[in-house]
């Protein structure tokens, strides 16, 4: 083949890859926008044929609106934000750092369970946070996100940029998030913090390889969620998702949406679980069981909640609705 033809073929492959990638962007945006009342869903790579001409419009919520929402909440929201900052390690399932003593009585810790709990008819107390998408931080387009420094060393500048005082709840939450993103990962774990949807998908592509099928799993509320903590019954036999590799992405407190993404080299099992609450609410929940916990911190909340020690048994937990679980080869979904 001539060099001209080789270049042409290479350019064509790049164009096809780029089209599929932006289609994936559009699909994920649709999931994020409609995650309130929908079933758990997936995005197989083989179905990336959606036209993405509206991608840029969908991805450009007004940044000023997000910052105003973040900066002008009342005292109740400030308390909630500090609470979220204190729980970053729990909600992001980071295994190399212990939680504060406050979590010992925190109802939000009712997300952990044992592997043998995964059976139809099982009933347990579970916490699912209630978040209003209209008032939650939104993802910024890559161009806007990349124009804002994202590092702990820039915290003084960032506080001025967002007009937050150094002793404000927002400043403390930002500090915790920046520190968390810069911490070294635990042994056998890799991680990154995504400041935009494009940057998250770039990293997902590198991890899985774009030639592989990739799906995304979310926890979704089939009815409007009105109760934070209640008893739920497993309405169907939990369905295991074929996932030789998975990456979990969790939202963390910041003026605009930041996703903390991480994965382990050790074995994990991913499940979809249909739950029915005592008050009639139904949730199609995403859950994971970490099969090897030998490298986790001895003071990890999961061990205390389940009464086990590192490496003695798997630790399982549910994901909140604004988290994304990326899996390779989602044929079972």
In angstroms, the CA 111 to CA 320 distance is 9
Residue 299: which residues within 8 A CB-CB, separation 6 or more? 98, 99
Token reading at 83: 């609470």
Mean pLDDT, each 10-residue run in order, the chain (333 residues): 46 37 46 41 35 31 37 36 35 38 68 96 95 77 94 96 94 96 87 94 88 88 93 96 89 94 89 96 96 89 93 95 84 49
In angstroms, the CA 79 to CA 128 distance is 18
Residues 259-281: tens digit of each pLDDT: 999 988 888 999 999 999 999 99
Residue 46: which residues within 8 A CB-CB, separation 6 or more? 213
In terms of pTM, does the model score above 0.95?
Answer: no
Residues making up the chain, counted from first to last: 333
- pLDDT, residue 214, reads 84
Residues 28-86: tens digit of each pLDDT: 554 454 443 333 344 343 332 232 222 333 333 333 333 433 443 333 333 333 333 33
Domain that includes residue 261, residue range: 3-328
Q: Does residue 183 lie in a domain region?
A: yes
Number of domains in the chain: 1
Q: Does residue 333 lie in a domain region?
A: no
């Amino acid at each position: 083949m001539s060099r001209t033809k080789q270049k042409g073929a290479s350019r064509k492959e790049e164009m096809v890859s780029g089209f599929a990638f932006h289609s994936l962007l559009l699909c994920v945006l649709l999931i994020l926008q409609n995650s309130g009342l929908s079933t758990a869903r997936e995005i197989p790579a083989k179905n990336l044929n959606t036209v993405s001409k509206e991608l840029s419009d969908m991805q450009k919520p007004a940044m000023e609106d997000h910052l105003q929402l973040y900066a002008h909440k009342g005292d109740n929201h400030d308390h909630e934000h500090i609470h979220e900052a204190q729980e970053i390690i729990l909600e992001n399932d980071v295994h190399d750092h212990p939680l504060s003593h406050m979590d010992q009585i925190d109802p939000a810790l009712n997300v952990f369970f044992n592997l043998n709990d995964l059976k139809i008819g099982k009933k347990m107390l579970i916490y699912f946070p209630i978040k209003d998408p209209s008032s939650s931080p939104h993802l910024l387009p890559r161009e806007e996100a990349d124009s804002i420094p994202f590092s702990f060393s820039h915290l003084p500048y960032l506080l001025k940029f967002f007009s937050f005082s150094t002793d404000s709840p927002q400043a403390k939450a930002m500090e915790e998030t920046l520190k968390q993103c810069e911490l070294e990962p635990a042994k056998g774990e890799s991680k990154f913090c995504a400041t935009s949807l494009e940057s998250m998908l770039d990293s997902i592509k590198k991890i899985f390889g774009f030639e592989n099928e990739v799906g995304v799993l979310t926890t979704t509320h089939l009815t409007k969620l009105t109760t934070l903590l209640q008893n739920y019954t497993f309405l169907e036999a939990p369905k295991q998702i074929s996932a030789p590799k998975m990456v979990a992405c969790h939202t963390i407190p910041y003026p605009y949406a930041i996703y903390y993404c991480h994965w382990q080299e050790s074995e994990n099992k991913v499940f979809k679980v249909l739950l029915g609450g005592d008050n009639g609410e139904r949730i199609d929940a995403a859950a994971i069981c970490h099969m090897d916990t030998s490298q986790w911190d001895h003071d990890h909340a999961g061990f205390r909640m389940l009464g086990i020690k590192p490496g003695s048994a798997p630790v399982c937990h549910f994901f909140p609705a604004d988290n994304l679980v990326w899996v390779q080869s989602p044929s079972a979904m």
